[in-house]
Structure 1
Amino acid sequence: MTIAPAAPSLVDASDFRAAMRELAAGVTIVTAGREGDRRGLTATAVCSVSADPPTLLVCVNRDAEGHAAILASGAFCVNVAAAEHRGLAERFAGRGGARGAERFEVGDWRSLSTGAPALADAVAVFDCRVIKAIDWGTHTVFLGAVAATTISPERAALLYRAGAFAAG
């Protein structure tokens, strides 16, 4: 199958962002790096690519401080936020002024297989090794081979829609 190059978008970027805010999504904290040099960001652009082999996709703005940490370490951890992690999600979204490794001063952080920070009480954790990085527009699409997981399915997840967090 041949795919034709994409035509220029007919939608203004601000209109696109406004429409995307209406798409309810699970909230994740994407982390990378090791003790002393950890970075992370709040993200909703995360999805499954394949169950065999287990693969996730995350989209990270190249201006986000976590972006360079993912490239440098070759790994990332997707931490699915629980409803009670709203403050943590806001912290990793840059609200409140915490930056860099300082963001990790809140929460119980451990590591699984790759060494990337894993939130001990997350609804689910996907510890991934980067297998491909694709630059697209303002973001990099990272494909990650899932090396380890944890789950706590009894916990309510944190959702994001219309610029606000809610329990789901």
Structure 2
Amino acid sequence: MQTNLSQTQLLFREAMSVCAAGVHVITTDGATGRFGITMTAVSSVTDEPPTLMLCVNRQAQIYPILQANGVLCVNVLSSQQIDVAEHFAGLTKLTPEARFEQHIWHRGKNGQLQVDGALAHLHGKIVANHEVGTHGVFYVQIDEIALNPHIDNALVYFRRTFGTFER
């Protein structure tokens, strides 16, 4: 854990922990390799063209891989996928490559990996990015969407714990 955090930083982190958020696993596969990461900092920007925004810590191992590969899949996790979230958040002792071996994956039209059982898969290309403080903001134009109509319950993150939102 980082030290020397200001009181404002600590309060900001605590305030953000009470903002319930959907849980996503971002996957990318390309010339610089395959990698995945669990994220909550994912948001829609516009539906014309369909665009998402991802905020990724610049120190994260996936950061340069995303920049170089330029394509990704946003897997919106269901309530049954806590293990997927934990693996890709690095909460288990699995290597980044071994994380992919624990689950069933399919490839979308653009070749990106989507995990079986997710609520939705949004495939796209990074069209812009910039840096703000410790993070990079990636804008992803979505070109393929797959929804799973058979699953209703979402995985959420609240007060630094995974939980379920049931419809």
What TM-score, normalized by structure 1, do the two folds share? 0.88
Unaligned runs of 5+ in 2: 1-5
Is 1:27 the counterpart of 2:23? The answer is yes
The equivalent residue for 2:121 is: 125
Return the letter of the residue paired with 2:69: S
Equivalent runs, 1:6-85 vs 2, <5 Å = 12-34=8-30, 37-85=33-81
The equivalent residue for 2:164 is: 167
**1: CA distance, partners of 2:85 / 2:62:** 14
Unaligned runs of 5+ in 1: 1-9
The equivalent residue for 1:158 is: 155
The Cα of 1:145 is off from its aligned counterpart by 0.7
Count of residue pairs the alignment pairs up = 159
The equivalent residue for 1:92 is: 88
The Cα of 1:99 is off from its aligned counterpart by 2.8
Return the letter of the residue paired with 2:120: A
The Cα of 1:109 is off from its aligned counterpart by 1.3
Structure 1 stretch displaced more, 130-139 or 94-103: 94-103
What TM-score, normalized by structure 2, do the two folds share? 0.89
The Cα of 1:14 is off from its aligned counterpart by 1.8
For residue 133 of structure 2, the aligned residue among 130, 137, 156 is: 137
Return the letter of the residue paired with 2:161: A
Runs of 4+ in 1 over 6 A off after TM superposition: none
Deviation per residue, 1:73-97 (Å, 9 max, x gap): 1011110011110011011111112
**2: CA distance, partners of 1:35 / 1:167:** 36
Percent of aligned pairs sharing the same letter:
34
